[in-house]
A and B are shown apart, each in its own frame.
Chain A
C-alpha cells in the first residue's frame, strides 16, 4: 500500500510539474495552456490504444508483441482505403456520405486487425509458447512482412487524409483558441475505452480469469479453464484495439509505413513505466507521456530543440524508472 501511495505521489508530481511548466512558459495564457492539455490527452489516448494491448498481452502471455505498432499502422491504411476513393475497396459510390463512411472505415480496420490477430496467435505464436526469444523474433518478423505487404498493396508513398467529413472539420473555442472537435472525440473515446476495459477486467468472469492468468496462468489452467482460448481472445482484442487506434489517428496522421514503429516504441516506454503487465499503470502512463509530449512540443516551438518531443517518452521513462525501478504499478517480479 505504501508503495502504491509513493507511485501516486510520483504521478501527481510529474503531471503537476509538466502543467506548471507549461503554464509558466506560456505566461499564464490559458488558451495556450488549455490547448496543450487537450493535445496531450489526445496523444495520450492514441498511445493507450497501442500500449493497452501490449500491456495485457505481455502480462497474461509473457509475450512482447513487437507487431503491435504494425497493427496500428495497418488500421490507419485500412481506414484510409475504405474512406477514400480509388483504393482497394471503393465505397464512395455505395456510401456517398463521408460521415457515414468513416464509422465503416473504422469498423473495417478493427475487423482486419482482429482477423490478423487470430491468425498470428493461433497459426504461429501458439507453437512457440515455451520459447520466449523465438516469440520476439516471430512478432518482429511478422511486423516486417506486414509492412512489406502494405507497401506492396498501397505503395511506399505516405498518404495524407484528404477526405473532409463533419467531425473532422468542426472546431470549438477554448479560452479564445480553436480546437478540433475530432480530437475531443478521440479523447472521449479513449476514456470510454479505459473505463470499458477496466470494467471487463474487474466485473466479468473473463476479466477475473485474465487477471488471475497474469499472475499464474498454469494454475488457472489447473482449475479447469482452457487458458489458451483466453490467450487467443486477449491477443485478438489487443490487435483489434491497436488497429482501432490507427484508424482513428489516420485523419490526423495519415497513413505511412513509419507510423507503426514510432508508436510501438512509445507504447513500450509506456508499458515499462506503468509497470509491466499492469493495466492501471498503462492507462496512467499513456496520459502522462501524452501530456509530456504535448508540453515538449509547445516548449520546442521557436527553438532549435525540435527533437525534444520525440525523445520525451524516453526521458519520462528514465525519470520514472529512477524513482520506481519496477514502474508505477509494477510488481517486483
Chain B
C-alpha cells in the first residue's frame, strides 16, 4: 500500500522538554489512521510536528514524496494538509461564514465545497451568519472540520474530535468523518477508544514519546493485553 504520509523517528522539544523521542507513523493513502495513547503521551505534539507548529529537531516527515521538515506551517498547509486542532480553535469573533471563507486557498473554494459541507453538517447553514463564539461545542467541532474541508486537502489531521461532546453528537461526527474519509486520508487523535476502534482502519500507539506499536485496528480489538498496557482501558 502507498503511504501518503511517512513520519520517521522524529524528535521534538517544547521548550526544554523532550516530548517526542523517536515517533514513527505511516499513514496509508485513503485510510483512517488513529493515534492512540494516554494523556501527555505526545499525540498532539506529533500532529503539531507534522504541521510544522512544533518543528522536530531530528527525523523525517514525508508527504506525497516531499519532505515537510523545515517548512513553515502555512506552506505545509498549502501542500494539501488540513488541520483540526484540539479545542477546535474556531475564530470566535468571526461569523461562521468568515470562519469558512478564511480557509479558502483559491477563490471559489467555498462555493465548490458548500454542498458537501452542508450535507455533512446541515446545522451550519442555519448558523451561517452567527459569530463562531456563540456556537455550542459540537457545532464548533463541526465548523472546525468543515473549515478543513474548504480547500482541496488530501490529508486531514484531526485532534480529539469527541472531546467534551455528548454521545449523540459523537455519533453524528463519526458518520461525518467516515463520509469525508472518502475524499481525503485522515490521521486522527482520539482518546475515546470505542469511537477510535469503530472508525479507524489502522492504529499507531504513542507512549511516552515513542511509538511502540502499530497495525490494523481489527487486530488491536482482539488484543486485550496491548490495550490494557498502553491505553488502560478494557
Contacts and interface: CB of A to CB of B under 8 A. Distances in A.
Interface of A: 205, 208-209, 211-212, 214-216, 218-227
A219 to B, nearest CB: 4
A226 B85 contact: no
A223 B72 contact: no
B98 A223 contact: no
A116 B93 CA distance: 32
A221 B102 contact: no
Contacts of B102: 205, 208-209, 212, 220, 223, 225
B92 to A, nearest CB: 6
Nearest to A214: B93
B134 to A, nearest CB: 9
A212 B96 CA distance: 12
B94 A218 contact: no
Interface stretch (B31-39, B57-65, B73-81): B73-81
Contacts of A208: 94, 98, 101-102
A212 B99 CA distance: 8
B133 to A, nearest CB: 9
A160 B91 CA distance: 48
Contacts of B85: 219, 222
5 contacts: A211-B94, A221-B73, A222-B85, A224-B77, A227-B74
Interface string B79-111: 000010100010111100011011101000000
Contacts of A225: 74, 102
Given A209-B102, A227-B74, A222 B91 contact: no
B147 interface: yes
B53 A222 contact: yes
B73 A222 contact: yes
Given A205-B101, A220-B102, A226 B74 contact: yes
Given A222-B85, A223-B103, A216 B77 contact: no
A211 B94 CA distance: 8
Interface residues of B, number: 23
B91 A212 contact: yes
A216 B91 contact: yes
Interface string B167-179: 0000000000000
A227 B77 CA distance: 13
A215 B91 contact: yes
B68 interface: no
Contacts of A218: 53, 73
A212 B100 CA distance: 11
B159 to A, nearest CB: 11
B77 A222 contact: yes
A211 B74 contact: no
B93 A223 contact: no
B90 to A, nearest CB: 9
Contacts of A212: 91, 94, 98-99, 102
Nearest to A229: B74
A93 to B, nearest CB: 50
A215 B74 contact: no
A216 B103 CA distance: 14
Contacts of B53: 218, 221-222
Nearest to B97: A208
A26 to B, nearest CB: 42
Contacts of A226: 72, 74-75
B93 A222 contact: no
Given A208-B98, A225-B102, A215 B92 contact: yes
Given A219-B85, A221-B77, 18 more contacts: A208-B94, A208-B98, A208-B102, A209-B102, A215-B93, A215-B94, A216-B89, A216-B91, A218-B73, A219-B89, A222-B53, A222-B73, A222-B74, A223-B83, A224-B75, A224-B78, A226-B72, A227-B74
Contacts of B91: 211-212, 215-216, 219
Nearest to A1: B134
B51 interface: yes
A196 to B, nearest CB: 20
